[in-house]
Amino acid sequence: MFLDGLLKLYNAHSGMINRVSLTIIIGFIVLFFITRITKRWLKNKLLPQSLLVLQKVINYGGFVIVLLVVMQQLDIRLSAFFGAAGVAAIAISFAAQNSLSNIISGLFLLWEKPFQIGDLIEVENKSGIVFSMDLLSVNLRTFDNRLIRIPNEQVMKANFTNITRFQIRRLDLNIGISYNDDVDQVFNILKDIAVKNPYCLDEPEPVLIFKGFMDSSQDILFGIWFEKTDYMVLRNSILKEIKRRVDEEGIEIPF
């Protein structure tokens, strides 16, 4: 009986059901191709995070258009729907103030472009590579492969640091030597280490500053410039070489 009832219902409304099904299928196919074409056309014109947000706007907007067309085909009164939607929107707006604030902050971040996908940033002692960015949050991937989600509003209010914004960076090392050692000799050793290290840039030149006399050491600032992608290999190699050379030259690093 149940199957007979469904069959009669389908026969009575088969035309409408077919139109609605065709509308949904065609709508989502068109939406798929619009998204693909937009991505290819704007891939080299927009930043990755801007392109990602644009794709989401197209998907959500297309879904709403398909839904409205289907409702019209089903003879659902759109005026009543919009009236109910307006009441619901007012109720939701009170509960979604934080979300609205995050959306506005996300738009400001897209406009200012302080970072992009792939940059290494630090936000309130949380650091990681920007994995994705949407209308509500920024997602970071940490070095131990964890995901950190930070609301856009929090990013806007925080004093965040973009560590890899520029192509070259400087690694600053504070080196303390004994009062019995010659500062000029140590300067020459450090210059030689920088020249021989393949990851240390010749231009800008390394920075050597005698910082002054501390309780148990003479302190030197040794700053070397490098390509941002070479941070780990430079840091490891330069520290090992400093330790080896000061041991060879009899330079004492106090406790």
pLDDT score of 68: 75
pLDDT > 90? residue 86: no
Which residues are CB-contacts of 43 (< 8 A; sequence separation ≥ 6)? 51
28: phi then psi, degrees, rounded to nearest 5:
-75, -30
**Helix or strand (DSSP H, E) at 138:** strand 137-141
Pick 100 or 167 by higher pLDDT: 167
> Whole-angstrom Cα distance, residue 4 to residue 244?
89
* 20-66 pLDDT per residue, tens: 777 778 877 877 777 777 777 766 666 666 666 667 777 777 777 77
pLDDT > 80? residue 139: yes
Candidate from 57-61, 199-203, 216-220 with smallest mean pLDDT: 57-61
pLDDT score of 206: 94
Which residues are CB-contacts of 140 (< 8 A; sequence separation ≥ 6)? 121, 123, 126, 127, 128, 129, 130, 131, 147, 148, 149, 150
Average pLDDT of span 240-250: 92
> Whole-angstrom Cα distance, residue 235 to residue 200?
10
Residue with tokens 């939406």: 31
> Tokens for 66?
């398909």
pLDDT score of 186: 93
The arrangement of strands across the sheet holding 126-133 comes to: 147-151, 137-141, 126-133, 120-123, 161-162
- What is the share, in percent, of the chain residues with pLDDT greater than 90? 36
Q: What is the pTM of this model?
A: 0.60
pLDDT > 90? residue 197: yes
pLDDT score of 183: 92
